[in-house]
């Protein structure tokens, strides 16, 4: 079978600079306009910029091994990589040749004309670009190497149901240890710290809520958490109760929470954090809350003032939650901030840090790439707990989607380990307006 030819557009490189190593023995062509777009993005102070710089360095290293016009071997056992100028006359009528995406399409069409016996595939994370390719008969696909799931419904939710004999539930409530071998054969696979509803096989209304640890440990009973457990916040539904169970457990240092707007994921995370840095049995020395700088809609550009003044609009939602939890006592909140017990800061400055004995909350993680999530998690030092929150239905980063964002990647990759836990919030609790809007708009 003839080797395929892949044309990777800029969005692929900006998502994963190692993407050139993902296509086996097939050849890769880099359109010249992609090199220009990478150069334009290399100074960005985020994961996009890091990926742009990463692929530029990788291409420079390959350049020293040969000539891109003739082709350079990517690695032993892998294909060749070329640069390619487009023949803009290949573009169909209506495709403006001054648009970068159209130049990438023209490059692929040029290759398709030159290599009639080989399949040319344009790879892009831009859905509209793939639609344009399909409209003119050019093969196109998304960058799949990063997809830990194929669609949103496959994402691990942290909760499941198990059918058991009626007597098992009676024994559970009587205080007897119930383990995995007590359940019915053919049950779904369970993961560490997954919440489980045991359901009677003879009466579906007879249930028990538990938490799975491992096959050798009895199912753990889940208490109903109260206001005293979460800085005055009592859970309003079972998912919030599950979240507090994970957030208050120091044996689970990595917790992820996802849910629609108004479901309470950020509020629960901050409340549990305050409880554990200032409660009667403090577990951590400080609370660090941050979020990525990712605008919704058109960016306003650079803001004037000090770093604190520049970050104020981005960190306002976190400040809102803190003020809600502190009530009218703003002086106490400011006092804790001045002492460094509560830090609200930009995510941009986390690189290079090693954070010990802290409770970290990273909000809006759905806008982070896999590379950025990895950078954040590798900052966690001894005695530190980190909570990742977000809503994968509200992604403002144009280079990622519901299946390729860093939060989805972290949830799926970490669900097998006993030091991590996850729960998906289902119900909105902010207000009737917020819940209706999240469900219907």
CA-CA distance, 338 to 324, in Å (whole number)? Answer: 19
Q: Mean of the pLDDT values across residues 369-398?
A: 90
Total residue count of the chain as it appears in this document: 441
Angle at 233 between CA 227 and CA 237, to 5 degrees: 95
Q: Do domains 5-141 and 236-440 have the same CATH topology?
A: yes
CA-CA distance, 364 to 285, in Å (whole number)? Answer: 24
The answer to whether 13 and 52 have CB atoms below 8 angstroms apart is yes
Q: Which of 79-88, 260-269, 291-300 has the lowest mean pLDDT?
A: 291-300
Token couple for 173: 């409530």
At 304 the pLDDT is 59
| pLDDT tens-digit series, residues 64-76 | 999 999 999 999 8
| Number of other CB atoms surrounding residue 219 within 10 Å | 23
Instruction: Find where tokens 């509200």 sit.
Output: 394
The answer to whether 417 and 251 have CB atoms below 8 angstroms apart is no
| Residues 6 or more apart whose Cβ sits within 8 Å of residue 10 | 34, 37, 38, 41, 100, 104
Token couple for 301: 């550009």
CATH 2.30.130.10 fits 152-221, yes or no: yes
Helix (H) or strand (E) holding 436: helix 432-440
Q: Mean of the pLDDT values across residues 141-153?
A: 78
pLDDT at 297 over 50: no
Buried b / exposed e over 93-124, threshold 16 CB at 10 Å, is eebeeeeebbbbbbbbbbbbeebeebebbbbb
The structural domains of the chain, with segments of one domain joined by +, span 5-141, 152-221, 236-440
Sign of CA pseudo-dihedral 111, 116, 118, 123: positive
Instruction: Find where tokens 């487009």 sit.
Output: 86
At 70 the pLDDT is 92
CA-CA distance, 161 to 152, in Å (whole number)? Answer: 20
Mean pLDDT of the chain: 87
| Number of other CB atoms surrounding residue 28 within 10 Å | 22
Which ranges constitute the DSSP H helices of 263-382?
Answer: 265-278, 307-326, 330-338, 370-377
At 296 the pLDDT is 39
pLDDT at 110 over 90: yes
The answer to whether 389 and 376 have CB atoms below 8 angstroms apart is no
Model confidence band, residue 44 (pLDDT cutoffs 50, 70, 90)? confident
Which ranges constitute the DSSP H helices of 10-126?
Answer: 10-15, 32-41, 47-63, 100-114
Token couple for 363: 């909000």
DSSP letters for 222-245: -----GGGTTT---SSHHHHHHHH
The answer to whether 359 and 333 have CB atoms below 8 angstroms apart is no
Homologous superfamily (CATH) of 236-440 is: P-loop containing nucleotide triphosphate hydrolases (3.40.50.300)
Instruction: Find where tokens 């970050």 sit.
Output: 311
Torsion (CA) 33, 36, 40, 46 in degrees, nearest 10: 80
Instruction: Find where tokens 């409880």 sit.
Output: 275
Higher pLDDT, 303 or 45: 45
- When the candidates are 3.40.50.1010, 3.40.50.1370, 3.30.1370.100, 3.60.20.10, the CATH number that belongs to 5-141 is 3.40.50.1010
Model confidence band, residue 295 (pLDDT cutoffs 50, 70, 90)? very low
List, edge to edge, every strand of the sheet that includes 358-362: 342-346, 286-291, 358-362, 385-390, 254-258, 420-424
The answer to whether 287 and 361 have CB atoms below 8 angstroms apart is yes
Higher pLDDT, 391 or 343: 391
Q: Of 372, 311, 347, give the one whose Cα is nearest residue 49.
A: 372
């Amino acid at each position: 079978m003839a080797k395929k030819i892949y044309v990777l557009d800029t969005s692929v490189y900006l998502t994963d600079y190692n993407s050139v190593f993902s296509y086996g023995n097939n050849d890769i062509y880099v359109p010249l306009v992609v090199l220009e777009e990478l150069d334009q993005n290399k100074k960005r102070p985020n994961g996009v910029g890091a990926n742009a710089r990463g692929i530029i360095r990788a291409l420079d290293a390959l350049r020293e091994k040969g000539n891109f016009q003739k082709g350079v071997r990517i690695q032993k056992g892998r294909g060749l990589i070329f640069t390619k100028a487009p023949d803009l006359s290949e573009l169909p009528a209506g495709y403006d040749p001054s648009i970068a995406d159209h130049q990438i399409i023209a490059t692929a069409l040029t290759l398709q004309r030159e290599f009639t016996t080989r399949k040319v595939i344009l790879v892009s994370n831009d859905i509209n670009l793939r639609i344009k390719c399909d409209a003119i008969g050019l093969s196109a696909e998304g960058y799949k190497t990063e997809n830990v799931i194929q669609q949103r419904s496959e994402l691990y939710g942290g909760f499941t149901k198990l059918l058991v004999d009626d007597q098992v539930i009676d024994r559970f409530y009587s205080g007897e240890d119930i383990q995995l071998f007590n359940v019915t054969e053919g049950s779904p696979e369970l993961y560490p710290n997954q919440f489980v509803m045991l359901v009677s096989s003879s009466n579906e209304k007879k249930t028990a809520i538990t938490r799975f640890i491992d096959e050798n440990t009895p199912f753990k009973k889940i208490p109903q958490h109260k206001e005293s457990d979460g800085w005055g916040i009592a859970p309003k539904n079972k998912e919030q109760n599950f979240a507090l169970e994970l957030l208050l457990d120091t044996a689970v240092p990595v917790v992820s929470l996802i849910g629609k707007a108004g479901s309470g994921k950020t509020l629960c995370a901050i409340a549990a954090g305050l409880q554990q840095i200032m409660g009667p049995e403090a577990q951590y020395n400080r609370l660090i809350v941050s979020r990525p700088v990712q605008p919704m809609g058109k960016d306003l550009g650079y803001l004037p003032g000090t770093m604190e003044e520049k970050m104020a609009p981005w960190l306002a939602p976190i400040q809102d939650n803190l003020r809600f939890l502190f009530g009218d006592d703003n002086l106490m909140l400011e006092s804790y901030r001045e002492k460094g017990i509560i830090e609200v800061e930009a995510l941009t400055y986390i690189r290079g840090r090693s954070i010990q004995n802290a409770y970290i909350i990273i909000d809006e993680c759905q806008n982070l790439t896999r590379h950025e999530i990895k950078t954040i998690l590798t900052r966690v030092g001894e005695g530190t707990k980190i909570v990742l929150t977000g809503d994968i239905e509200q992604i403002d980063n144009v280079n990622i989607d519901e299946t390729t964002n860093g939060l989805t990647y972290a949830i799926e990759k970490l669900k097998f380990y006993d030091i991590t836990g996850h729960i998906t919030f289902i119900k909105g609790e902010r207000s009737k307006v917020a819940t209706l809007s999240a469900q219907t708009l």
